[in-house]
Structure 1
């Protein structure tokens, strides 16, 4: 259960980091593009934020298996064989996480019932979060 708590605390920390990133990028976007309350400008902002978060996560997972939050909590994402994720595996992980977070954070709730406390995206993709 401690491992699960550690993972959830890393998720909270990651959320705060993503909040800072989205606020900063949104401010810059508004500065250069103007208000993005509707239409193409709003869609452009959403795409920018999604791609920026994706670039952060994918880069971290490929380079070391650790984001800033997972470094703090001494966690690492590894492939089924225990190695680093390839670029394609990291991109797929980001896409699957994105989809599985939409229905009320399903992937996070899944860990409560999973026998090994894996998030649903890790269970589906064969990736694991281990202590580093």
Structure 2
């Protein structure tokens, strides 16, 4: 996740610059909600493009995992979009809690971290180790580590 965030930094930086140029924004808080929606769409395009094209983002290639449909096939565009939207569900309960209770500063951070941990626990308690968004989107992650041949000798 950290590796994916590092890769997304460049995409977010460039797309935010484009947003500022197109809207003639001179302040980071100007058009804040429009900016957030724009970044949600841009990040979504990155994930949806990667998942529907090869099933892997750059970080997923490094970790040798691929997202596939339940039959093991390539994700159709609509399933990739659904998976992206559902993957944000971990954020909603924490956001609602922050809003309802008027949490500020470190309390807000704790609520968001608790939401992330709660979401991760959905994979821990799932019989197949799937996150809730994968189960709902009818997708799954597979290991694409190449099998090693036991008869071959290691390369020097």
- TM-score of the pair, normalised by structure 2: 0.68
Q: Is residue 2:78 matched to residue 1:88?
A: yes
Matched, 1:115 2:127: yes
Cα RMSD after superposing both structures: 1.9
Map of 1:125 onto structure 2: 137
| Pair 1:99-2:106 in alignment | no
Structure 2 regions of 5+ residues with no counterpart? 94-114, 145-156
Query: Of 3, 15, 18, which residue of structure 1 is paired with 2:8?
Result: 18
The ranges of structure 1 where at least 4 consecutive aligned residues each deviate by more than 6 angstroms after the TM superposition are none
2:49 pairs with 1:37: no
User: Do the aligned partners of 1:101 and 1:108 also contact (CA within 8 Å) in 2?
Assistant: no
Distance 1:75 1:22, change over 3 A: same
Unaligned 5+ residue runs, structure 1? Answer: 1-10
SS of corresponding position for 2:128:
coil
Q: 1:129 to 1:112 in 2, by over 3 A?
A: same
Structure 1 position 24, deviation (Å): 3.3
Give yes or no for contact 1:107–1:121 (8 Å, CA) kept in 2: no
Bigger radius of gyration, 1 or 2?
Answer: 2
